[in-house]
Amino acid sequence: MCPEKAINVERTCVFHTDIKAEAWLTALKKLISERTVSKELRIKSLTKKVNRVKYRIAEGRYQPES
């Protein structure tokens, strides 16, 4: 039997499919730290921004700033 607190596990990431429900964020907060949830949200936001720019470039509507 393992002594109490002999092993420390820290979750830094949870792999999941794209979910938009607020309930998922609440569940995620229970599984991992708020700091990691914040990181996950920043990554999701950045991914959306990159995809929008790629779409605009593909459509020929992107005008880079001078």
Q: Which residue has the higher pLDDT, 56 or 23?
A: 56
Q: For residue 3, how far is the Cα from the chain centroid?
A: 34
Q: For the segment 12-47, what is each residue's pLDDT rounded down to a tens digit?
A: 666 767 766 677 777 777 877 778 778 878 888 898
The Cα–Cα gap between 28 and 41 comes to 11
Mean pLDDT calculated for residue range 39-66: 83
- pTM exceeds 0.85: no
The residue whose two tokens read 């990431």 is 13
Q: For residue 12, how far is the Cα from the chain centroid?
A: 11
Tell me which residue of 62, 6, 11 sits closest to 36, measured CA to CA. 11
